[in-house]
Structure formats: C-alpha cells, structure tokens
C-alpha cells in the first residue's frame, strides 16, 4: 500500500471524525431537550419523548440511515449523503443521550432540588444550576461510552454510498487486492480513536465509584 492509498484512507478517517462530531454535537443539544421532556411532569412533553427514545432505541441504525437518505427527499429535503447521514446520527444520538441523561437527572438526590427550592430558586434555575451539573458528572462515563459506539457506527454510512473510513478501506482493498493489509490499517485507525476514549470512560467510572465509596 502506497502513499496515495494511505492518503485516501486518511481522507476517509477525516470524514469519520466529522460525522462523529456532527452527530455527537447535535445529539448533545437535542438529547438535552429529550431528557428534559422525559422528566417533565407534563404528559404532553413526556410521552413524545418516550416515543422518540423507543423509536430510535428499538430500530437499527442501518434502517435509520436508509430512512434519512431515501425518505427525506420524498418530503422535500434533498440533502447530500453526508447531510442525510448527519441527520440520522443526530437523531440516533439524541435518543440514546436523552435516555442516559434522564437516568442521571433522576439519580440526583431529590434533596438537592428541594434545598434549592427552599432557597427560593425557580424551576429553571433549579434544573440548570443545581440538578444538571450534578447529572452531567454522573452521566459522563456512559456518555463517553456512547461516543465510542457512535464513532464505530459511522461505518454504516457506507451503505448509502458515503465514503468514510470503512468504505475507503473497501475501495483501496479492491484496487490493490490486499484486504488483510488494508483492513489491518483501518482497524488500527479505529482502535487508535476508540481505545483512548474507552480508557477514559473506565477511568471516570472508577473515580466515580471511588468517590461514592468515601
């Protein structure tokens, strides 16, 4: 495998990182909305959030990519491949992160919110100044773990013709007929991205467990 083929793999790697960043950033924003709707006392907000989470947790990411790529043009949104994949990854991430953060919000002791209420803080301030900072710390290991899954999930974008790292590896392999070498390099690239994140997530989890044990 020469410089040209390796450069092509690096271009696919850049697209993998780009899709992961877009999906995770969008998932953070919409996931927070979903989490807040999920813990709302209003059924008008809570039920749609439950349905959203159930829909995206109960269906394969591959199907969600197909629907975004082939379905959005039918309703007037003719997006490029990377745009459709970004929409699917964002929706997918929002459901999973929303559920992760819902659990973290509900894990914060109710006494914290009650104490803030006794101090005269209104609902918005209680949630964003008292509950969410603590919930963020509780959810960080699971959030990092999901980021790893999302990064690996970008490889499914190849099914709609988008050239990310895995698809670039397939193209290079078909050109030079050395699949073991090519996918060994691709696997090493995925490992170099995912392993440090997984290690960080485990470290955060151990620190949290040690803090709770004190």
Structure pTM? 0.91
Residue of 171, 3, 178, 31 lying closest to 97 (CA atoms): 31
The stretch 103-131 carries a mean pLDDT of 80
Distances (CA, A) of 30 to 9, 37, 98, 129: 31, 11, 8, 19
pLDDT at 209: 74
Q: Is 121 helix (H, G, I), strand (E, B) or coil?
A: coil
Is residue 124 scored above 80 in pLDDT? no
Residue 28 has a pLDDT of 95
Identify how many contiguous H helices and E strands the chain contains and give both numbers: 9, 0
Residues 195-210: b if buried by 16+ CB within 10 A, e if exposed:
eeeeebbeebeeeeee
Backbone Cα Rg of the chain? 20
Give per-residue pLDDT as tens, 63-92.
999 999 999 888 888 888 889 999 999 999
* pLDDT tens digit sequence for 172-211: 998 888 888 999 999 999 999 999 999 998 888 888 776 6
- Domain region containing 126: 3-213
**pLDDT value at residue 213:** 54
Q: Tell me the pLDDT of the chain averaged across its residues.
A: 89
146 or 3, which is more confident: 146
Lowest pLDDT segment from 101-115, 117-131, 190-204: 117-131
pLDDT at 100: 95
Residues 113-126: what's their mean pLDDT?
Answer: 75
Confidence class of residue 212 from pLDDT cuts 50, 70 and 90? low
Distance separating alpha carbons of residues 26 and 77, to the nearest angstrom: 18
Compute the Cα dihedral for 106, 108, 109, 114 and give only its sign: negative
Report the candidate in 78, 84, 72, 70 with the shortest Cα–Cα distance to residue 19.
Answer: 84
Residue 126 pLDDT > 70: yes
Query: How many domains does the chain contain in total?
Result: 1
Q: Decide which of 28 and 122 is more confident.
A: 28
Q: How far from chain centre, in Å, is Cα 112?
A: 29
Q: What CATH number corresponds to the domain at position 54?
A: 1.10.3720.10
Q: How many CB atoms lie within 10 A of CB 177?
A: 8
Distance between CA 49 and CA 34 in Å, rounded? 6
């Amino acid at each position: 495998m020469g410089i040209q083929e390796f450069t092509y793999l690096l271009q696919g790697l850049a697209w993998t990182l780009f899709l992961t960043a877009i999906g995770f950033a969008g998932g953070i924003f919409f996931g927070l909305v979903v989490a807040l709707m999920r813990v709302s006392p209003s059924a008008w907000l809570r039920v749609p959030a439950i349905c959203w989470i159930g829909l995206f947790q109960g269906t394969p990411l591959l199907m969600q990519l197909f629907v975004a790529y082939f379905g959005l043009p039918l309703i007037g949104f003719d997006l490029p491949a990377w745009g459709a994949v970004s929409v699917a990854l964002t929706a997918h991430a929002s459901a999973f992160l929303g559920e992760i953060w819902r659990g973290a919000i509900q894990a914060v002791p109710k006494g914290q919110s009650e104490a803030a209420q006794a101090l005269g803080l209104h609902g918005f301030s209680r949630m964003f100044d008292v509950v969410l900072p603590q919930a963020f710390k509780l959810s960080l290991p699971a959030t990092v773990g999901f980021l790893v899954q999302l990064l690996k999930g970008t490889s499914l974008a190849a099914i709609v013709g988008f050239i990310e790292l895995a698809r670039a590896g397939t193209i290079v392999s078909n050109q030079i007929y050395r699949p073991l070498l090519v996918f060994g390099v691709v696997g090493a690239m995925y490992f170099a991205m995912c392993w440090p994140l997984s290690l960080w997530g485990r470290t955060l989890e151990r620190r949290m467990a040690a803090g709770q044990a004190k």
